[in-house]
Structure 1
């Protein structure tokens, strides 16, 4: 999805640089104006043959031509999550392409730091009908996502603020909670993980309404986006004002939270270490 958005933005810029309006370019490509608009807004899959035709019309050649055709191929590749029987999960697609994520967790430990048993207990608690195979696949996919925290080739930098209430909640029973706390202690030692705990003593804070995520895409050139999960679904926000507000909220939460060393002391205490 991210690569489709990058490609779509590049194709729109190339059309504008070539001096074509949507209404002028569409008939020359045998597209309707609405179809070309959907392509440029990443609302549909972009066929490689369409990209070749657009690049020819916009007089793009050389390395740029090769680069964008290859990007079109990549944008049409099925995501790794398809192997787990998952459909077009937009959040996983965005996280897969992100270079850094900032996550505030309110009611539970964020997915990138969950044990398999903890993740399973959370999924079972949600009133969504799943077969046993579907449940197993979703848990396996969640654990698979965590590999990027230790990847040498494609690391993901995670900065997270966890509300202390999430650490006290006995998700899946006492043993599962204990294992989850131990897991947090281990992951907090990774170079890719910066973990803050927002203590109960902070009182009312900027994130009381919900947890949220901010995704940064590094050299892909894709604008940052915010993502909010709630009890009835999820919401992606990419307008500059919305993302700026999310950044400000995260900064306030980080400021109110314990620093990583203090956070680790608290987690160790809760784990009985």
Structure 2
């Protein structure tokens, strides 16, 4: 999904650089104006043959032609998450292409830090109809996501702020919580993970209403994205003004949280209890 958005943005820029409007370019490509608009807004899969025709029309050649054709092929490849029964528009499709994740979670452990038992307990508690097989696949997909925190080929950095109350909430029972706390401690010692705990004593703060995630895509050049999950669904925000507000809110929450060393010490102390 992210690569499709990157490709769509570049194709739109090439059309504009060629001095063509949607109305001028569409008939030359045997497209309707609405179809070309959907392509440029990443609303549909982009066929490689369409891209070839567009590059010819926009007089693009050489290495640039090769790069965009390869990007089109990559954008059409099924993501690993499809094997787990998850759709292309799921959050995982965006996180998979991200290089850094900023996650503030006030009610439960962030997905990238959960144990399988903790994740299963959370999913069972949500009133969503799942077969046992679907539940197993969703848990497995969540565990798969964590591999990137230790990957050399596709590294992912995580900056997580967790509310202290989360570390005391016995999701799945005391034994599951104890194992979860030690798992958090192990992850917090990775170079790719920066953990901050927001103490109970902070009181009201900038993100008291809900948690949220900010994704950064590094060299892909895709603008940052914010993601908010709530009890009835989820919301993706990609307008710069909205994402800028999310960044500011995260910075304010981060400034009120414990530093990584203090946070790790607190997690270990609770784990020993």
Q: Describe the SS at the equivalent of 1:271.
A: helix
Structure 2 residue aligned with 1:124: 124
Q: Describe the SS at the equivalent of 2:194.
A: strand
After the TM superposition, which residues 230-241 of structure 1 pair with which residues of structure 2 at under 5 Å, given as runs? 230-241=230-241
Structure 1 residue aligned with 2:169: 169
Q: Distance in 1 between matches of 2:89 and 2:158?
A: 20
Number of equivalenced pairs:
273
Q: String of CA shifts for 1:15-61, please: whole Å, max 9, x gaps.
A: 01111100000000000000000000000000000000000000101
Q: Distance in 2 between matches of 1:11 and 1:85?
A: 30
Q: Over aligned residues, Cα RMSD in angstroms?
A: 0.7
Q: Which runs of 4+ in 1 moved over 2 A?
A: 87-90
| TM-score normalised by structure 1 residue count | 0.99
Q: Distance in 2 between matches of 1:74 and 1:264?
A: 39
Structure 1 residue aligned with 2:53: 53
Q: Describe the SS at the equivalent of 1:194.
A: strand
The 10-residue stretch of structure 1 (81-90 or 154-163) with the greater mean CA deviation from structure 2: 81-90
Q: How much has 1:272 moved relative to structure 2? A: 1.5
| TM-score normalised by structure 2 residue count | 0.99
Q: How much has 1:84 moved relative to structure 2? A: 1.3
Q: Distance in 2 between matches of 1:30 and 1:4?
A: 21
Structure 1 residue aligned with 2:73: 73
Structure 2 residue aligned with 1:184: 184
Q: String of CA shifts for 1:215-234, please: whole Å, max 9, x gaps.
A: 00011110001000000000
Q: Which runs of 5+ in 2 are unaligned?
A: none
Structure 2 residue aligned with 1:18: 18
Q: Describe the SS at the equivalent of 2:45.
A: coil
Q: How much has 1:154 moved relative to structure 2? A: 1.1
Q: Distance in 1 between matches of 2:32 and 2:199?
A: 56
